[in-house]
Structure 1
Amino acid sequence: MNRRAYLALVGSSVSASLAGCSSVRSAFSDDELCGGDDCDIGMTRNGFVPEEYEASVGETVVWKNTSDADHTVTALENGIPDDAAYFASGGYEDEETARDAWEDRGGRIGTRGTYEHTFEVPGEYTYICIPHVDGGMIGTVVVSE
């Protein structure tokens, strides 16, 4: 095959295959990602949208898996207020138990699945997705009075 023809063919194939690789964030607004009122925080392939969410004391926050990957919502024990209740999908009472459970897919939120938590203490809450934390899947809920 002619080298120029080959390079043109490869170049057009790469361009065509990359055309659909725009981020979900740019393709959907937060409302579209969560489907309007059925969630507050969406979970894309490797991110929480939005990464930071503002809530009020007593508010229930709903996360929804809007991707085809399994996710968790797992609070970091050193990332929540001292007197706040620990939270994790699967109902685990501490971070170590939640992380250990993930080895058997415990706490899994499947596609279109949801998880919710009611925040009773003001402060900043940092949480992760256990299988995707190395890729940067970290979120924050800031709760005010």
Structure 2
Amino acid sequence: MYDGGGGEHDLGYGDEVGSFDGWFDDVDDYTGVVDKTGESRPVVGVGTEGNGGQFAYDPPAIEVSTGTTVVWKWTGEGGYHDVAHVGDAFESEVTQERGFTFEHTFENEGEYKYVCTPHETLGMKGIVVVTS
């Protein structure tokens, strides 16, 4: 888990629930930001256990370095899901196909919040924190 560190990459995210201006307030499986900065193609599960069913991303919050390609992989559980950035930087198709993947390469630093549009109200949300 990324703990906010204190080093040159310390953005103050920490691992406390309630970070990101309440973004994860209704997400029951969020426990902090998982450090994936050493991985070139980290995988996030889509349709994993959480939020009263198979309505979660696993992990819901990751930190990656600029230039990293994040891969979202569908479990085939929980119905139709997608990955839709709230600022329209990326969006997958809506599907329930087990093993389907969607990927996006993050070239710029920042916080990239995303949702599953069919299940956003159930708390199916995630974030990619990109640092250099």
In the aligned structure 2, how far is the partner of 1:109 from the partner of 1:139? 18
Q: Which runs of 5+ in 1 are unaligned?
A: 1-24, 26-37, 78-84, 91-106
In the aligned structure 2, how far is the partner of 1:73 from the partner of 1:115? 8
Q: Which residue of structure 2 aligns with residue 72 of structure 1?
A: 82
1:126 matched to 2:129? The reply is: no
SS in 2 for 1:46: strand
Q: Identify the structure with the greater strand proportion.
A: 2
In the aligned structure 2, how far is the partner of 1:87 from the partner of 1:109? 18
Describe the superposition over 1:71-116 as per-residue Cα deviations: whole angstroms up to 9, x where unpaired. 1000001xxxxxxx710004xxxxxxxxxxxxxxxx4352221100
Q: Which residue of structure 1 aligns with residue 68 of structure 2?
A: 59
In the aligned structure 2, how far is the partner of 1:46 from the partner of 1:64? 14
In the aligned structure 1, how far is the partner of 2:116 from the partner of 2:69? 19
Quote how far apart the aligned CAs of 1:125 are. Answer: 0.4
1:87 aligned partner, one-letter code:
F
1:42 aligned partner, one-letter code:
G
Q: Identify the structure with the greater helix proportion.
A: 1
Q: Identity over aligned residues, as a percent?
A: 41
Q: Which residue of structure 1 aligns with residue 45 of structure 2?
A: 42
In the aligned structure 2, how far is the partner of 1:86 from the partner of 1:67? 25
Q: Which runs of 5+ in 2 are unaligned?
A: 1-28, 30-40, 49-53
8 Å CA contact 2:76–2:96 kept in 1: the answer is no
2:129 aligned partner, one-letter code:
V
Quote how far apart the aligned CAs of 1:39 are. Answer: 5.5
TM-score scaled by structure 1? 0.55
In the aligned structure 2, how far is the partner of 1:113 from the partner of 1:52? 20
Quote how far apart the aligned CAs of 1:121 are. Answer: 0.5
1:86 aligned partner, one-letter code:
A
Q: Cα RMSD between the aligned structures?
A: 2.4
SS in 2 for 1:55: strand
Structure possessing the higher relative contact order (Cα contacts under 8 Å, 6 or more residues apart):
1
SS in 2 for 1:47: strand
Larger Rg: 1
Quote how far apart the aligned CAs of 1:67 are. Answer: 3.5
1:139 matched to 2:110? The reply is: no
